[in-house]
Amino acid sequence: MKNNIKYMLILHLFLAIYSLTGVASKYAAGEEFLSFRFILFYGIVLFGLFLYACAWQQIIKHMPLISAYANRGVTVIWGIIWGYFLFDEAVTVRKIIGAAIIIGGIVAIVTADAAEEEKAKEAGNEE
């Protein structure tokens, strides 16, 4: 259980990094093509995606794939947060409801997956 929490926290750290690649991409889009700032922001995008890809490979070694994929939905929530703080975008009631639905879905999937793992362990111990 403690190990699961550790990998869940690591996953969410790298999902936050992954979501920041979208921020860097938006900044790059606002710059002149191939200017220094464009290349800088695009480089940040590529570096963030590289970090995320490496971390993802390690995470799925230690977590059920369905749980890891379900948690990727939090990038939408990070998008709302980054949009509010960095781009002065409004946080509407619809966005909050959508975020709550995403969190509810993640909890439902991860909880069901954990219950299935527990059943499998119990079945393995009975044999």
User: Which H or E run includes 83?
Assistant: helix 74-87
Indicate the domain borders of the chain. Answer: 2-126
**pLDDT number for residue 16:** 94
CB-based contact 53:21 (threshold 8 Å): no
**pLDDT number for residue 31:** 96
CB-based contact 12:67 (threshold 8 Å): no
Token digits of residue 50: 């590289």
Enumerate residue ranges in the chain where pLDDT < 50. none
CB-based contact 82:19 (threshold 8 Å): yes
pLDDT digits (tens, 9 = 90+) for 95-118: 999 999 999 999 998 888 777 777
**pLDDT number for residue 4:** 78
**pLDDT number for residue 11:** 93
**pLDDT number for residue 1:** 59
